Structure 1
Amino acid sequence: MRTGAAADHTGYFHEAIRYDSDEHLLAVVVPFLLGGVAAGEPTMVAFGERNAALVRAALPTGCPVTFLTGGDVYARPAGAIRSYRRLLTDHVAAGAGQIRIVGELSRESLGATWDWWARYESAINHAYDEFPLWSMCAYDTRTTPPAVLADVARTHPRTAGPHGRHEANPQYTDPEQFLLENRPAPADPIQQAPPVADLRDASPAEARAAVRAADDGSLPAAEVEHLVLAVSEAVTNAQVHGHPPLRMRVWRGAGRMVVTVADRGPGPRHPYAGLLPVAGGGATGGTSAGLGLWIAHQVCSHVSLHRDPDGFTIRLTAGPPHTG
């Protein structure tokens, strides 16, 4: 049985909290959590350390709210979707009629890597819609860039406010449209230098060899091999589903590597490619394209997808992503 503002809703009830003070945040979050506890619903918080401490202090002693480790949950968008779907499935199997979660992304996620987190916020409207989930995503308007706040309105059907306010966002955009828009990622400073490798129409084997040859030992071996796998998948997808010519470039910096794979095709036609293990992720369909992008999103520290009149480019990062 659904309760609260989501009582008459089927599927995912997705709201943003755009707050401008600690008091504003708590005025929305505390009643939301206490309402879940009173209804006997699984009720969870996935905040960073500071805001989690604020909420803990505001709740009654012994209040049975579960605090998740936000940094672990939100390490990568595709991993977050996978983890939450597993969590939601377990709660539904245990008989939950509604599940309440309030969460936030790290401040670093709102910078240079926001492009893939914006895709996450849009995609979960579909990815979680089979579950009786009511969640709120918190954004501090004092520190969140205006462009990010504009995307928040486009990816959340509603905004929650103090005093039980729940307002529709007129800017909300259907994920099937939002996810296929061109969302250029900010340039990575590492790309200002000449690439250490620049290959034309490379085979997957040549692409793998180029990444391994560029390794200077400053990255853990496992991360290098993850990048090798992601690059191999990207090159294979470009060959099978894209349009020639194919160009692959590799940049290396202290403790990180960036690889771009570009072709003249339109890129994945499936809006959820990369975030969900969908079939038909390539320009002309095909299960391998969808799985290849999904694998890349699982193992890289940042993946950006860019379309322009010249074609499609995927950028893959190993090591700490650019956050400036």
Structure 2
Amino acid sequence: MSAPATAPGLVHRAVPYRDPEHHAAVLARPISDALEHDRRALVVVDPRCRSELERTLGPDAGVEFRAPEQVHTAPPFTVAGRWGRAVRNALTDGADGVCTVGQPVELPGTDQAYWTRLDLALTHALHGLPVTLLCSFADVDGARERAGQLHDELLVDGAPVPGVGRRAEHELLAENPQPPPEDLGEPLLSVPVELGGLGAMRRRFEETARLSGFGPRRVEDLVLAVNELVSNGIEHGSGNPLLRAWRTPAGLVAEMTDADACRLTFPGLAAPPAAGARGRGLWLVSELADVLQVWTAEDDPDTVQGTVVRVTMTPP
């Protein structure tokens, strides 16, 4: 499996920088060009680069800054899905396109595997959208080689330079695995579900959500998400998945475990085509849930048998 070709309208480049001043200087041109052509600018960088960009572009330039510690609060595939929603919302609001900037920073729960998986996921979440995606990185020894494994192009001092050594996604994902499913203890409920039991399952989850403090709209979202999750396991998996639920400090967690392995590399990330009814299940789940996580035996055969899919939703 080779890396996907860059989608029409999607420009995905790695941006090396030496220091915060150089970082801001390299980013200022593509960001200002975007704003001048009715495109939005969504920038997630550390405070030092943000300060330099505000000084260079002006505090009223129209850049939407987001703090890294607020963006990177979930697993990388979930963050990529949120990024895709932010871009689609900007396009719906009338923007002709979006220039987005991301930068790896040291945060709890992030490591090299996190940033690698996020970079790969962003390519899929933004596929086909009019986006310039700039991935900044500190220009230290070996960094350009690592960036070349993920990007076809680098933006070096404002000039596009071909990347070298692009690698296949499945190799990078295998070398950068996500943490295995956390043991959440004794579940609130644990039930195998078959096609004829979907109605009873929905009623049980509706009651569980209400007892967990969810309001009517959020109850509806949760029941729909869980229904799509289990239906997907019934239709495309073994036909008899196991559904469990827990109350946690993060919210209500629902998990489907199925004996069959999911073979979608980035499940739920890309919006399905407008035409046709298929391919919407996991994408709809990712839109409704706060966090969607998928583990498969192909990803981690030592800790997962078949497929494990978890969704986390917070009240109200």
Say if 2:43 and 2:100, in contact at 8 Å, map to a contact too. yes
Write the deviation string for residues 207-236 of structure 1: whole angstroms up to 9, x where unpaired.
333434444855542444422221110111
Say if 1:109 and 1:117, in contact at 8 Å, map to a contact too. no
Post-superposition shift, 1:118?
Answer: 4.7
Letter in 1 for 2:233: A
The one of 40, 64, 67 equivalent to 1:68 is 64
What is the 5 A alignment of 1:75-154?
77-85=80-88, 87-88=90-91, 90-92=94-96, 101-104=99-102, 107=107, 110=110, 117-118=118-119, 120-124=121-125, 126-128=127-129, 131=130, 133-139=131-137, 154=149
Post-superposition shift, 1:86?
Answer: 5.5
Say if 2:15 and 2:155, in contact at 8 Å, map to a contact too. yes
2:222 aligned partner: 227
What is the 5 A alignment of 1:294-313?
294-308=283-297, 310-313=305-308
Post-superposition shift, 1:238?
Answer: 0.9
What is the 5 A alignment of 1:258-277?
258-267=253-262, 269=264, 273-277=267-271
Unaligned runs of 5+ in 1: 1-8, 93-98, 280-285
How has the CA–CA distance of structure 1 residues 125 and 319 changed in structure 2, closer, same or farther, with 3 Å as cutoff? closer
Letter in 2 for 1:204: L
The one of 44, 47, 51 equivalent to 1:47 is 44
- Note if 1:156 corresponds to 2:159: no
Say if 1:185 and 1:304, in contact at 8 Å, map to a contact too. no
Say if 1:44 and 1:67, in contact at 8 Å, map to a contact too. yes
Say if 1:214 and 1:252, in contact at 8 Å, map to a contact too. no
Provide the secondary structure at the position in 1 that maps to 2:284.
helix
Provide the secondary structure at the position in 1 that maps to 2:55.
helix
Say if 1:251 and 1:258, in contact at 8 Å, map to a contact too. yes
How has the CA–CA distance of structure 1 residues 167 and 24 changed in structure 2, closer, same or farther, with 3 Å as cutoff? farther
How has the CA–CA distance of structure 1 residues 210 and 27 changed in structure 2, closer, same or farther, with 3 Å as cutoff? same
- Note if 1:287 corresponds to 2:277: yes
CA distance in 1, matches of 2:120, 2:198: 27
What is the 5 A alignment of 1:229-268?
229-267=224-262
Post-superposition shift, 1:245?
Answer: 3.6
- Note if 1:209 corresponds to 2:209: no
Say if 2:243 and 2:254, in contact at 8 Å, map to a contact too. yes
- Note if 1:199 corresponds to 2:170: no
Letter in 1 for 2:81: A
How has the CA–CA distance of structure 1 residues 171 and 26 changed in structure 2, closer, same or farther, with 3 Å as cutoff? same
Letter in 1 for 2:179: P
- Note if 1:315 corresponds to 2:310: yes
How has the CA–CA distance of structure 1 residues 294 and 114 changed in structure 2, closer, same or farther, with 3 Å as cutoff? farther
How has the CA–CA distance of structure 1 residues 109 and 28 changed in structure 2, closer, same or farther, with 3 Å as cutoff? farther
CA distance in 2, matches of 1:215, 1:319: 10
CA distance in 2, matches of 1:207, 1:154: 45
CA distance in 2, matches of 1:238, 1:40: 45
Provide the secondary structure at the position in 2 that maps to 1:195.
coil
Say if 1:122 and 1:179, in contact at 8 Å, map to a contact too. no
Provide the secondary structure at the position in 2 that maps to 1:287.
coil
Letter in 2 for 1:29: L
CA distance in 2, matches of 1:244, 1:179: 31
How has the CA–CA distance of structure 1 residues 139 and 163 changed in structure 2, closer, same or farther, with 3 Å as cutoff? closer
How has the CA–CA distance of structure 1 residues 184 and 209 changed in structure 2, closer, same or farther, with 3 Å as cutoff? farther
How has the CA–CA distance of structure 1 residues 34 and 67 changed in structure 2, closer, same or farther, with 3 Å as cutoff? closer
CA distance in 2, matches of 1:204, 1:182: 38
1:4 aligned partner: none
TM-score, normalized by length of structure 2? 0.68
